[in-house]
A and B are shown apart, each in its own frame.
Chain A
Amino acid sequence: MATGVVEMHDEYAILLDAVRGIRWPARSSVRGGIPGAHTSRLRGISAEFTEYRPYRQGDDTRRIDWKLFARSDRAYIRLSNDRAILPTMIVLDASASMAFPVATRGKWTVAAQLGVALGAVARNSGDPVGLVIAGEEPQLLAPRMRRSVTHDIIRAVSAARPSGSAPISPSVSIAAQYAGRLVIVTDLLGDAAELLTVASRLVAAGREVHVVHVIAGEEIDPPRDAAMVFDPESPQLRRALTGDTRDAYVAAYGAWRDHIAHDFAEAGVSYTTVVVGKETPDHLIRRITVARGAAATA
């Protein structure tokens, strides 16, 4: 067991090395607060000069540019852009459908890598990072700036086992209380409609919301052998996947993906599709962190 954990941590170490130089700027100005790396909506007194403003009664006299006052005999206040941190929460969907394919649990593996890597990238940008694992028993790591937060995330995702059919939108709502940036890594096979509603509300409230849609290749292109397939989150839902129904399935699932991508993009959510095994994790991270506006798809 201990050896397995060590190997897993080694795997994450490689991943962390790969994403070390990546920065993750905010998509827009963040609220003011603790000084950080992101442009704040507030103008402050940092060293990065922006403009002068005439002194008004009530301004701090220490912010008057005395040299300019000596030359022009007028009092001006020196303004500069303020910078702030952007607390980031990563929400991982740990429902049973994420443990697919059953043999490799590929979707969960990718989700866990994304969680760790995005957390590390945000942490490297100076932002506090937290984690919510939305499973049968949700786990919460409140946003922290300390160095060990990455290791905390690794431990949490390594211990988690996807199971059950718990909805993810309540976990997103909880995570939104802590952060200005939310990253939701999910397969959207649970409460997608509720999640869209919650995400839309958060975007409207000024939050930066990223949805990373994790898809297994077997879901897009299932095996051609006839099989009786069932949904792990509701085993009573059993369908016969045969040659006749397979084509209809592929068409229906593709249409649903297009529809859901359109809905999230329209809601102002950064929507990214990730197909398991198609890209290296660092490439995925770069794609997610540079996403702007419209949905980025694989």
Chain B
Amino acid sequence: MSFLAPGFFFASLVAAAAIVALHFIVTRQPRAGVLPTARFVPDTRATTVAPARRPSDLLLMVLRVLLVLAAGAGLAKPVLTPRRGAAARVILVDVSRSARDSTAMRDSVIAIYRVGDAVVAFDSSARVLAGNLSDTLRALRPTSRRGNLSAALITALRAGSRLRDRADSLELVIVSPFAREELDAATDDIRKLWPGKARLVRVGSSIPTTASGEPRIEWPASSRPRFAVQRGVRDTVGGVMADEAVVVAAFDRQWSFAPDSVRGGEVVARWVDGEPAAIEKPEGDGCVRSVAVPVTGVGDLAIRNDFLRFVSALSRACSSETAVIPAALDAITKLEGKGGLAPREAFRPLSDGHSALAPWLFALALAAAIAELFVRRRRKDATRIDGARSAAREARAA
């Protein structure tokens, strides 16, 4: 067993020791005696503090120590550490639209997977697969979303932290077609956070097979663009962008794309405030792009270079084709990295790790607290009764 936050447990040990020490220090009244002239004795404190050979109120002391230790152990989040193996793998499985050959992808993952490995499926987001992984892996299907390796790598780092107690070394395995669109500017930096080399397993076809699938661009001059709806209030926006192309101009915005209209498609251009300005939806072998960017004949907007670049970005091939464009070789080399397996010490233990024992320990602490309350109250009543009896006895004796 180990603790995720051992400081709490050590603090509770100190507190428990202090409680035990306090129970060895007792306050007691000196022996009672009759003195008719007691009125001439100054009225001072009637108890003395003295060390005792045996602890006072043994049951109370046990309950208090139990309370403190249970609460401290609960806060320390104890986890039952499994037996550590030599190596474990964190497998990133690409289920984005780039991974078209799902059978190859599943077979590759199943071949690599060993019990105790962590599997991260990713498209635009990444998630650690849990439960019966053999069934889950067989059910993996590509989605229509664009892959994002950066998100997958971050999730892999967290999975590595979870696996650090189970293996001495961790291996990163990426099963993906490694399309260009899956890498972004942060991918390289995030990859460096994983110490050691990654095993890259390329699956699926990342080479365009046909040249079919030309985009059809619908850009009405004044009528409602396809999939768009009339805006409640017309407004003016100062710019629009598509990929790297940015156009700064005053646009009279009349149409908007509702969130439902984007479903199953992809936003290819956005206004500067983040609203979709153009969307793409698959259609047959190709795709259709609906553009809601008004272009007026007044001014030089139509002949400006930035606008031409914007038009060019809107005219690129459909996403179904760009999804399979392979990443550059140097990018893949950087992704693979250098060195051996990552040592477990390179991963920080999770501070927000879940401890199955903690709730039980808190329950135990609560029960001890309630029991302590009752025992203390009973002791107090008993002491009061004894005191009254003693006083009555002394009075009778006098």
A and B held together in a complex: yes
For the complex, give the distance between the alpha carbons of A99 and B395 in Å: 12
For the complex, give the distance between the alpha carbons of A232 and B31 in Å: 15
Chain B residues within 8 Å of A244, by CB: 44
Given A227-B32, A230-B32, A230-B394, verify A253-B44 contact (CB < 8 Å): no
Q: Is the CB of B46 within 8 A of A219?
A: no
For the complex, give the distance between the alpha carbons of A242 and B33 in Å: 12
Q: Is the CB of B40 within 8 A of A232?
A: no
CB-contact partner of A231 in B32, B36, B45, B47, under 8 A: B36
Interface centre among B31, B39, B43 (most CB of A within 10 A): B39
Q: Does B42 contact A (CB under 8 A)?
A: yes
Q: Is the CB of B398 within 8 A of A229?
A: no
Q: Is the CB of A187 within 8 A of B40?
A: no
Given A102-B397, A235-B395, A242-B30, verify A230-B40 contact (CB < 8 Å): no
For the complex, give the distance between the alpha carbons of A97 and B36 in Å: 5
B149 to chain A, nearest CB (A): 80
CB-contact partner of A240 in B36, B46, B397, under 8 A: B46
**Contacts beyond the supplied A189-B37, A227-B33, A238-B46: 11 A-B pairs with Cβ under 8 Å:** A102-B398, A219-B36, A228-B30, A228-B31, A231-B37, A232-B398, A240-B29, A240-B30, A241-B30, A249-B37, A249-B41
* 8 sample A-B contacts, Cβ–Cβ < 8 Å, listed by A number: A216-B36, A228-B31, A228-B33, A228-B46, A241-B33, A245-B41, A252-B40, A256-B40
Main SS of chain A's interface residues? mixed
Is the interface on chain A under 10, 10 to 19, 20 to 34, or 35 or more residues? 35 or more
Write the chain A residue with the least CB distance to B32: A228
Chain A residues within 8 Å of B29, by CB: 228, 240
Q: Is the CB of B35 within 8 A of A222?
A: yes
CB-contact partner of A239 in B38, B391, B395, under 8 A: B38
B27 to chain A, nearest CB (A): 12
A-B contact count (CB 8 A): 109
Q: Does B111 contact A (CB under 8 A)?
A: no
Q: Does B34 contact A (CB under 8 A)?
A: yes
Q: Does A112 contact B (CB under 8 A)?
A: no
Q: Is the CB of B398 within 8 A of A219?
A: no
Q: Is the CB of B34 within 8 A of A102?
A: yes
Q: Is the CB of B30 within 8 A of A227?
A: yes
Write the chain A residue with the least CB distance to B47: A240
What sequence of 0s and 1s flags, for each residue 11-37 of chain A, a beta carbon within 8 Å of any chain B beta carbon? Answer: 000000000000000000000000000
For the complex, give the distance between the alpha carbons of A231 and B60 in Å: 35
Mark B residues whose CB is within 8 Å of A. Answer: 29-48, 391, 394-395, 397-398
Write the chain B residue with the least CB distance to A231: B38
CB-contact partner of B398 in A223, A235, A236, A256, under 8 A: A235
Write the chain A residue with the least CB distance to B395: A235
Q: Does A298 contact B (CB under 8 A)?
A: no
CB-contact partner of A237 in B33, B38, B42, under 8 A: B38
Interface centre among B31, B37, B44 (most CB of A within 10 A): B37
Q: Is the CB of B36 within 8 A of A245?
A: no
CB-contact partner of B41 in A223, A229, A236, under 8 A: A229
Q: Does A8 contact B (CB under 8 A)?
A: no
Write the chain B residue with the least CB distance to A162: B398
For the complex, give the distance between the alpha carbons of A75 and B383 in Å: 92
B46 to chain A, nearest CB (A): 5
Write the chain B residue with the least CB distance to A252: B40
Q: Is the CB of A245 within 8 A of B42?
A: yes
For the complex, give the distance between the alpha carbons of A218 and B41 in Å: 14
Given A228-B30, A241-B41, A242-B30, verify A233-B36 contact (CB < 8 Å): yes
Q: Does A96 contact B (CB under 8 A)?
A: yes
CB-contact partner of B33 in A97, A219, A229, A236, under 8 A: A229
B395 to chain A, nearest CB (A): 4
A167 to chain B, nearest CB (A): 15
Q: Does A204 contact B (CB under 8 A)?
A: no
Chain B residues within 8 Å of A96, by CB: 36, 398
Q: Does A264 contact B (CB under 8 A)?
A: no
B47 to chain A, nearest CB (A): 8
For the complex, give the distance between the alpha carbons of A228 and B43 in Å: 11
Write the chain B residue with the least CB distance to A95: B36
Q: Is the CB of B398 within 8 A of A99?
A: yes
Write the chain A residue with the least CB distance to B392: A235
What sequence of 0s and 1s flags, for each residue 116-156 of chain A, a beta carbon within 8 Å of any chain B beta carbon? Answer: 00000000000000000000000000000000000000000
For the complex, give the distance between the alpha carbons of A96 and B36 in Å: 8
Q: Is the CB of A240 within 8 A of B39?
A: no
Interface centre among A102, A230, A246 (most CB of B within 10 A): A230
For the complex, give the distance between the alpha carbons of A17 and B397 in Å: 35
A262 to chain B, nearest CB (A): 17
Chain B residues within 8 Å of A249, by CB: 37, 40-42
Q: Is the CB of B394 within 8 A of A235?
A: yes
Chain A residues within 8 Å of B38, by CB: 229-231, 237-239, 241
Write the chain B residue with the least CB distance to A249: B41
Chain B residues within 8 Å of A252, by CB: 40, 42
A218 to chain B, nearest CB (A): 7
Interface centre among B29, B42, B395 (most CB of A within 10 A): B42
For the complex, give the distance between the alpha carbons of A155 and B48 in Å: 47
Chain B residues within 8 Å of A240, by CB: 29-30, 41, 44-47
For the complex, give the distance between the alpha carbons of A235 and B396 in Å: 10
Given A227-B30, A235-B391, verify A245-B44 contact (CB < 8 Å): yes
Chain B residues within 8 Å of A76, by CB: none
Write the chain A residue with the least CB distance to B46: A240
